[in-house]
Amino acid sequence: MNRRHVITAGIAAALLALAGESALVPAANAQSLQDRLSSGQARDARDSGDVLPALRVISIVRSRYPGAEVLDAELMRGASPQYIIKILTREGRRIDVVVDARTGRILQER
């Protein structure tokens, strides 16, 4: 019984340590989380003509990176809304492609 308590306490301590570390990470990313549009908000922006459809933007990115796998697409709010399309290239590189959501122009690759 005592051994079980020691193991449980060790696991709990490890989880708390991990939780403490991960609690620091969102503070740095809090702004970016607030800047992301929800899927409903993105759909509304697309339907109102404020931004291009995500599938069109993904098509533009795929033409720049043939054979790349699209991992994620996010629409970021702002005066100049941007899509961030996360891809995995055929060579195995993970790249974030930043695209102007109104024009479809690729602004940055990081």
pLDDT band, very low/low/confident/very high, at 11 (cuts 50, 70, 90): low
Domain ranges of the chain: 1-35, 36-109
* Chain CA centroid to CA 25, Å: 15
pLDDT per residue as tens digits for the range 61-88: 999 999 999 999 999 988 899 999 999 9
Mean pLDDT, rounded, for 24-45:
66
- 90-93 long-range contacts, Cβ below 8 Å, gap at least 24? 90/66
Count of C-beta atoms within a 10 Å radius of residue 88: 15
pLDDT band, very low/low/confident/very high, at 2 (cuts 50, 70, 90): low
CATH topology of domain 36-109: Nuclear Transport Factor 2; Chain: A, (3.10.450)
